[in-house]
Copies of this chain bind each other. A is one copy, B any other.
Amino acid sequence: MLRLLRAVISRDLRLAMRRQADIVAAMFFFIIVVSLFPLGVGPEPAQLRRLAPGVLWVAALLASMLSLPRLFADDHRDGTLEQLALAPQPLGLIVLAKVIAHWLVAGLPLVLLAPVLGIQFDLGADALVVLMLSLLLGTPALSGIGAIGAALTLGVRGGGVLLSLLVLPLYIPVLIFGAGAVDATVSGLGPQAHLSLLGALALGGVFFAPWPTAAALRVALE
């Protein structure tokens, strides 16, 4: 079972490396969206500091979502998905591996990048730490929930935009607890409660989501 997970993850990572653009670009999307905001709303530092958690988290959410449509679409188009569905292992496990790979490519870089961007918004050190922590817990949940949407919209033309319609409402709790954790730190309250809820969401997202996703994939292949 672990071998299967490793095989799928390593293949997906290799593909991501081969495309190069992917990893770098998810990060740059994050950077650019975050930097657009000051341009849109004006540069007062006090206001920016108050905006920071929300903007950073919304940007992370969008960046992670942007690569979702391709999570299964490439495999679907070239027939690999059929092969995976015919593999002797439960499809849910394969999905789990793909979710992990997606997180490594589209989630982890955001976590590492966040503090740098947080500085642009004048966040303090403890807020930066909590920001990273919240992203570390929240982005896996995003990948997991996103996978469900990606599977449901698979093969549905115009799926890319439909996907965001399905997935964004489900992302809201993650966003609220994520931004809430940072906010609580900024305003002097403890972030523990938010963070532990976020952890629960992450566990749920990663270990529960693959099963409906697998079911949706089988439907898409019919």
Contacts and interface: CB of A to CB of B under 8 A. Distances in A.
Nearest to A69: B160
B26 A161 contact: yes
B50 A41 contact: yes
A119 interface: no
Interface in A1-48: 16, 18-22, 24-26, 28-29, 32-33, 36-37, 39-42, 47
B36 A165 contact: no
Interface residues of A, number: 49
Oligomer copy total: 2
A191 to B, nearest CB: 15
A169 B32 contact: yes
A219 interface: no
Interface stretch (A56-64, A80-88, A132-140, A198-206): A56-64
A67 B161 contact: yes
Nearest to A41: B54
Interface string A67-87: 101100000000000000000
10 contacts: A24-B165, A25-B162, A28-B164, A32-B165, A36-B175, A39-B172, A39-B175, A40-B54, A42-B54, A66-B161
